Every structure is written in C-alpha cells, then in structure tokens.
C-alpha cells in the first residue's frame, strides 16, 4: 500500500491473492469482489497486507486517500459514493431478512469454515502449503503453526471452538439447510435480481465448494443441489476466467 496514488479517485482493493482457482481464498475478500462485480464498480485489485489495514484484517480499500476496512463498512461507503443499484429496491422486511442471513453466513458459517480449514487435521497441511508455501525457509518453520495457534484462540473466543467437531459441523449443516431453504428455486436469495446478500452468500459458499478440502461441512454443501448450482452459476456469470 504505497503512498503514491492517495490523491486519485481510483478504487484500490487490497485482498489476499488467488488460491485454489478462486481470485481470493478469503470469504470476506471474495464477498467484496463479488459486490463490486455485481454493482459494476470499476476497481483495481491489489495484494494486501493485514498489518497495514486499519482493522488488521482484509479486505481494505483505498479511495480518495482514505483507507477503509471491513467488508460491510466498505459496502456502506460504496453505496454512498457510487449509488445502491443492488439493494435500493428492497423493502424494510427484505432488508431485515437479508441482514439475518448475512449474519448467519458471516458470523457463524464462516467459523465452521475456519475450523474445517485450520483445525481439521487432514486439511491443515493443504491450507498451510497454500497460504504459507511462499515464505522463506526459516519463517516457513514456525509462522504457520503460530498463525494456526491464533486461529485456534479465535475459535475458542467465538465459542464454536469449544464444541466437539461433530457438533461444530452439525451447526454448519443447519446453516446450509437454512440457506438452501431460503434460496429455494429462485435465481438469487431475494428473488430475480442480485442483492448484496448474494455477494456474501457467493463469497462464503464458493470458498466452501471449490478449495480441495474435504470435510463434513463441504459434504453438507454438496447435499444441497440448489446451493451448488447457484455457486456454479454465479462463478460463470461473474468470474468467467479463473486466476
């Protein structure tokens, strides 16, 4: 994040780089990228460093010299700056439903995904190599386990990490069942047109479906054919060229 272009109105988006055929393996970053594509807002994707983000997390944007972090805060900012082509048609009731599902996805299902990636013993080596494989030798020896330890603490703090693995996955399965019911046979979660809820749903579901990580939560997603075809359809529509 250099200081050189802080005066321009270019929208720069800082996120984790591509992995596993996704433009980013971060659900929150993919949510924002999906929103930008659905709302057709011109932007430049750049590799991000969470240590330089105001919240210590990604995604972060820089626009008109301002650094803004947190995907939802960013989307609210974008709505003010670029208009609200996706959500402006929603009734207050629909907005309430959208928020409830968004929270289910981002504050609950996300942590099940985190568990399946970082703690599930069979998946950890795959995640470690994808996320830390590029580190120089000495760092590669301790950084991955250090970060894994921090993720374990976050899961414990959330509370989900205190449950038995079967209970964690059962909760995630319930989330997916609720989402599958909400989507039904509609093209998007709130009917015929996309809304910002679809950006959240796609960002998180694509990050469960495509990475080469088997787990009970991925199996539960594969058990929901409408969610799977939704993700595949949005991939074709929004991300026709894989990274």
Among residues 58 and 168, whose Cβ is nearest to ligand GSH? Answer: 58
**Residue 161: CB minimum distance to ligand GSH, A:** 14
Which residues would be at the binding site for ligand GSH (CB under 6 A)?
26-28, 50, 56-59, 70-72
Among residues 57 and 158, whose Cβ is nearest to ligand GSH? Answer: 57
Continuous H helices in 2-47: 27-38
Continuous H helices in 4-82: 27-38, 71-82
Q: With b meaning 16 or more CB within 10 Å and e meaning fewer, what string describes 197-234?
A: bbbbbbbbbbbbbbbebebbbbebbeebeebeebbeeb
Among residues 128 and 177, whose Cβ is nearest to ligand GSH? Answer: 128
Contact present, 64 and 58 (Cβ < 8 Å): no
**Residue 153: CB minimum distance to ligand GSH, A:** 11
Rounded to whole angstroms, how far apart are CA atoms 178 and 190?
14
**Residue 127: CB minimum distance to ligand GSH, A:** 12
**Residue 176: CB minimum distance to ligand GSH, A:** 19
Give the DSSP H/E element, type plus range, for residue 12. Answer: strand 12-15
Among residues 59 and 172, whose Cβ is nearest to ligand GSH? Answer: 59
Spatial CA neighbour of 204 closest among 5, 11, 35: 35
**Residue 163: CB minimum distance to ligand GSH, A:** 20
Query: Phi and psi of 97, rounded to 5°?
Result: -65, -45
Among residues 56 and 125, whose Cβ is nearest to ligand GSH? Answer: 56
**Residue 184: CB minimum distance to ligand GSH, A:** 27
> Per the structure block, which two tokens stand in for 69?
């972090």
Among residues 31 and 180, whose Cβ is nearest to ligand GSH? Answer: 31
69 three-class SS? strand
């Amino acid at each position: 994040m250099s200081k050189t272009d802080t005066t321009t109105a270019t929208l720069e988006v800082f996120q984790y780089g591509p992995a596993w055929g996704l433009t980013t393996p971060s659900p929150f970053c993919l949510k924002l990228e999906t929103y930008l594509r659905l709302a057709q807002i011109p932007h430049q994707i750049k590799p991000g460093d969470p240590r330089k983000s105001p919240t210590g997390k990604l995604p972060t944007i820089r626009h008109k010299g301002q650094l803004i972090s947190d995907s939802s805060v960013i989307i609210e900012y974008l709505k003010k700056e670029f208009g609200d082509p996706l959500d402006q048609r929603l009734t207050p009731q629909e907005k309430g439903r959208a928020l409830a599902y968004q929270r289910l996805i981002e504050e609950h299902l996300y942590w099940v995904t985190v568990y399946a990636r970082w703690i599930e013993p069979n998946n950890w080596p795959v995640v470690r190599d994808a996320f830390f494989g590029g580190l120089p030798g000495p760092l590669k020896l301790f950084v991955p386990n250090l970060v894994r330890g921090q993720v374990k603490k976050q899961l414990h703090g959330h509370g989900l990490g205190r449950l038995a693995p079967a209970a964690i996955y059962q909760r995630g399965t319930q989330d997916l069942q609720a989402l599958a019911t909400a989507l039904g046979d509609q093209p998007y979660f709130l009917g015929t047109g996309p809304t910002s809820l679809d950006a959240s749903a796609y960002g998180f579901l694509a990050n469960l479906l495509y990475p080469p990580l088997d787990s009970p939560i991925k199996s539960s997603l594969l058990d929901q054919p409408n969610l799977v075809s939704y993700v595949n359809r949005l991939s074709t529509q929004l991300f026709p060229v894989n990274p």
